[in-house]
Amino acid sequence: MADVNLDDPAAWQYDLPPELIASRPAARRDDARLLLVERSSGRISHLTVRALPEILNRDDLLVFNNTRVLPARLFGTRTDTGGRWEGLFLRELPDGRWELLCETRGKLQPGETITVRPAASQVSEGSGAPPRDPELLLTLESKDDEARWTARPSADGPVTEILSRFGSMPLPPYMGRKLADSADEERYQTVYATQPGAVAAPTAGLHFTPELLESCRNAGVRTADVTLHVGIGTFRPMNSARVSEHRMHSEWCSLPQSTCQEIASTRAAQGRIVAVGTTSVRTLESAALAMPEELAGWQGETNLFIRPPWSFQLTDCLLTNFHLPGSTLLVMVAALAGYELVMDAYRAAIEQRYRFYSYGDAMLIIE
């Protein structure tokens, strides 16, 4: 592997048997298996997530992304033709307009309207007719060069309330299920999610239960929060000729002052900063870049692409799920653990039949 060109997107591909893609959550969140990767020795061990309190050290700091997934998947019809339409809410603009991805037969036109079905009617199939007494119309205005539409909603009020009435949980396409069920409404959300704004879950955090969090705290492990509202761009594959030419979409993130204080206390106690998920890593490292002299509370947009070689400032260890081939997330993990060790770990996970992606198992990278 010494001659692998890490700037070649082909270097970040691997073969995954499709049956290892987890389309449903495990019976319990902390039933997940845990692949432990030790950077210093290259050792790989097979444990479970419930072993975290024994693996972590007293005064280590778990940093969680407390973003909450919005019910961003929308279904409806083209008002004039009755043709089926599907959409994904991406964000609300400052003037109240929405940014969306749209999918339908034919070509959408600026100025046409979409009749959105209430969430309760999304399970009905077979009728292309608009629902009676529609409560939400989206007037399409323009589409950018990345196929994102800007639309103006007819309903007033907070976007979180509108989406709670009309939207459903936006499951990743590799799960093979367009419609989320009642289990997904709970399980595709971390137990500590408090800040609405994401269109995808920070999946490493899905393994934690209140009991596991309490066990970690009882073992002397500290906890702190950041926020990064996960956008659709995080999961898009690299499509440039070179990895170094890939450009990330911007995502909003925040590092609270209270977390800065926990980081300082952890460093003073010789503890390790353990990022729970790649989104926590992006927030920590983006804040460190923004404030190289002295860390303080910070928030803003980040399009940071972490790739080898990278000098991590605030991340010592990483708990993460297994990521798609050719993804920027896989590249980030290798920036921390090294390319060869990460690819060895992925091969071991495949051989041992670990479950992959959002509802899958986890990997913990320690020093």
pLDDT tens readout for residues 214-229: 999 999 999 999 999 9
What global pTM score does this model have?
Answer: 0.93
Helix (H) or strand (E) holding 33: strand 33-38
On the question of pLDDT at 130 being above 60, the answer is no
User: Does residue 178 lie in a domain region?
Assistant: no
Same-domain pairing of 206 and 83: no
Name 84's bridge partners: 77
* Residue among 152, 151, 105 at smallest CA distance from 128: 105
Residue 236: the pLDDT is 75
Domain of 29, CATH number, reads 3.40.1780.10
Please report the beta strands in 93-221, taking only residues with DSSP state E, as ranges in sequence order: 98-104, 113-116, 137-143, 148-153, 195-198
**β-pair partners for 46:** 35
36 and 89 fall within a common domain: no
Q: Provide the 10 A C-beta neighbour count for residue 182.
A: 8
Asked whether residue 175 is assigned to any structural domain, the reply reads no
Same domain for 123 and 31, yes or no, is no
- Same domain for 82 and 45, yes or no, is no
Q: Is the pLDDT of residue 337 over 70?
A: yes
The average pLDDT across 332-341 equals 98
Would you state the structure tokens that stand for residue 57, as one six-digit string? Answer: 């050290």
- Same domain for 272 and 332, yes or no, is yes
Residue 1 has pLDDT above 60, yes or no: no
pLDDT per residue over 138-173, tens digit each? 999 999 988 899 999 999 899 999 999 999 999 998
Domain endpoint, select from 168, 200, 218? 168
pLDDT at 233: 76
- Same domain for 241 and 193? yes
Residue 1 within any structural domain of the chain: no
Has residue 45 been placed in a domain? yes
Residue that finishes a domain, picked among 168, 194, 219: 168
| Domain span at 32 | 9-69+184-366
Query: What is the pLDDT at residue 305?
Result: 96
Q: Are 289 and 203 in a shared domain?
A: yes
Q: Is residue 177 part of a domain?
A: no
Please identify, among 121, 139, 168, the residue that sits at the C-terminal boundary of a domain.
168
Percent of the chain residues past pLDDT 70, beyond the cut: 95
Question: Per-residue pLDDT tens for 15-53?
Answer: 999 999 999 999 999 999 999 999 999 999 999 999 999
Same domain, 162 and 234: no
Q: Can you give the CATH number for the domain in which 141 is found?
A: 2.40.10.240
What pLDDT score was predicted for residue 238?
A: 87
Say yes or no: 106 and 60 in one domain: no
Domain presence at residue 179:
no
Q: Which pLDDT belongs to residue 322? A: 98
Q: How far is CA 1 from CA 226, 338, 342, in A?
A: 36, 11, 12
The reply to whether 243 and 328 lie within a common domain is yes
Highest mean pLDDT among 142-151, 178-187, 343-352: 343-352
Please report whether residue 238 resides in a domain.
yes
For 247-302, the pLDDT digits (tens) are 998 999 999 999 999 999 999 999 999 999 999 999 999 999 999 999 999 999 99
Give strand ranges (E) for 315-361: 317-321
Q: What is the count of structural domains for the chain?
A: 2
Half-sphere exposure of 65 (CA within 13 A, CB side): 35
The answer to whether residues 137 and 258 belong to one domain is: no
**Together in a domain, 330 and 202:** yes
Q: Is residue 159 part of a domain?
A: yes
Cα distances (Å, whole numbers) of residue 197 to 74, 89, 201, 280: 16, 10, 10, 15
Residue 120 is predicted with a pLDDT of 63
